[in-house]
Amino acid sequence: MTSRKHVCHIVPPYLMQRLDPARLDQDNGFRAARAEHLTRVLAQRPAPEAGSTAAEAGDWTVYTAANGTDLPGEKVRAAGEPDSGDESVDEAATGITGSLALFEEVYGRDSYDGQGIEVVMTVHYDRDYANAFWDGTQLVFGDGDGKIFQRFTKAVDVIGHELSHAVTEHTAGLVYQGQPGALNEHISDVYGSCVKQRLLGQSAEEADWIIGEGLFTESVQGVGLRHMLEPGTAYDDPELGKDPQPAHMDDIYDGPDDNGGVHINSGIPNRAFALAAKAIGGSSWDGAGKIWWAALTNGAVTTDTDFAGFAAATVAEAGDQAEAVTTAWSEVGVTPASGTPAPGGEAPTTTVRVRRSGGFMGRTTEGTAKLAPSAAQVATVRNLVAGGGAPSKPKGADRYVYEFEIDGQTAVVHEGDLSPELHALANDLLEKYDS
C-alpha cells in the first residue's frame, strides 16, 4: 500500500467519531504524520532546475482504487480524454478542470505548485469510505457510506477544497493546528466555494455559501458540511448532532480535539470572507478572492499566522475595499494585528535593521529600512528570528557576519548560510548606507 504522509480531510473528526470510530483511528494516524511531512515540504522547496520541463497547465489524471486502498490505483482518464461513463471519474475530471482554471485564469498560478505539476486523483477509495483528502501527493475520494454520505466527487467544492490544501502547502504552508490550521481549512473552503460559484456563474450575493451541498443522503437533516455565511447552521441531525462551528471569536473552541479545532473554528474566518465578498459585490473570486489570494501569497502570511495576523494581511491588500474587509473581520470579533492602518490612514511600516561585521577589514556597517508589514522581506526576517537558536559556525575565513533585527528580536547568520532572499535584502540596505 502506498504510504500517505500529509492528509487533510474534508469531513471533520467530530463527525467521523459519530459515524465510524474505527475509521477515525485510521484517519488520526494520517494526521499524526502531517506535521512532520509539512516541515519536510517547507524545507525542501527546490527551485526548478534549468532546462526542466513542467507538466502542461491543466494536466491531471484520474485513477480508481476499485474500493481498495492502494494508491493511486488503475488509470481511468486523463486530461483531454472523453468521459469514461463512471460518474465519480467524470465528476472528478470536471471538478479538477474547474479548480485548475480558477487558479490559473484568475490568480495566475499554474497548478498547485505554481510550476504546472500534474494533479493525481483517485476515486472509489476503500469501501464505504465517507471522506475525501489530500495526502501530500494526490487527492483521494471515497464513495460515501450510503447512509449519511453520498460519493464525495458529487460536490465540486469538495474537489476545489482538497486542491486548495495543496496550494496552501506550497505557498504559506499554514501548520495544521490551532488558528493557523483553521486558516488552512478556511482557505480551502474559500477557494472551493469560489470554484463552485464560478462554475455556476453566481455572484457573491446569489451564492448559497454551503460547503458540500449534495453530499448528505436524503435521510440527513442538513444542507452540507459547513455554512460559510452562517456557521453553525449546516446541519442539526439526531445522528450527526448539531453543527459546532462558531460564527464569532466569543465562541471559539479552545480544546485539543480536531487538531485544536481546525475544522470547527474555520467558521469564524469563513464568515468574515463571505461578509466581505458580499460587501465588495460582484463575484467572490474576483472580489474578496483576489484580496485573500494576495494576502496568502505575498509573504505576510507564514506557517504560524493567526486570525488577527491573517486579517491584517487581507486589510493591507484590500486597497479601496479596506473598510469593507475590516468591517467583515470586526463582525466576527477579529481585530487585525497591530500595524494595520485604519482605512484612509497613514500606511504602517515595520523597521528592519541589518548589521554586517567582519570581512577582511573587520569593518562594521549598518542599514535600516521601513517596509510595509506585508512586504516579503518582512516575512523573511521574521521567519529567521522566529527560528531562534545559536548562529551556525563560520564557513571559511574573512567572511562577513550578518545580524538581522526586527520587532526587537535579532538573529545572526554567517555569510555562508545566507539565503538568496536575505542576501538581497542585506545588500539593498547596506548599499543605501554606503552610498
CA 85 and chain centroid, separation = 33
Q: How many of the other CB atoms lie within 10 Å of CB of 177? A: 19
Q: Is the peptide bond before 72 cis (omega within 30 degrees of 0)?
A: yes
Q: Is 421 a known active-site residue? A: no
Q: Are 157 and 195 in contact (CB under 8 A)?
A: yes
Catalytic entry in 162, 169, 185, 317: 162
Catalytic residue, candidates 213, 263, 317, 415: 263
Inter-residue contact 100 to 75 (CB < 8 Å):
no
- From residue 257, alpha-carbon distances to 28, 95, 263 in Å are 11, 31, 10
CB count within 10 Å of CB 301 equals 27
What's the CA gap between 200 and 170, in Å, rounded?
28
Q: Return all residues near 26 (Cβ < 8 A) that are at least 6 apart.
A: none
Does residue 217 contact residue 300 with C-beta atoms inside 8 Å? no
**Which among 77, 80, 83, 164 has a CA at the least distance from the CA of 121?**
77
First-last CA distance in the chain: 61
| Number of separate helices (H) and strands (E) present in the chain | 13, 14
CA–CA distance, 365 with 355 (Å, rounded to integer): 6
Indicate if 403 belongs to the active site.
no
State the Cα angle at 51 between 49 and 54, rounded to 5°: 80
Q: Which of 224, 165, 154, 170 is nearest to 190 (CA)?
A: 165
**Beta bridge pairs of residue 365:** 356
Beta-carbon contacts of 340 under 8 Å, excluding residues fewer than 6 positions away, are 311, 312, 315, 316, 326, 348, 373
140-174 burial, b for 16+ CB within 10 Å, e for fewer?
A: bbbbbbeebbbbbbbbbbbbbbbbbbbbbbbbbbb
For residue 306, give every residue at least 6 positions away whose Cβ sits within 8 Å of its Cβ, in sequence order, or none.
178, 179, 180, 183
Task: Please state, in angstroms and rounded to a whole number, the distance separating the CA atoms of residues 149 and 133.
Answer: 15
Catalytic residue annotation: 162, 263
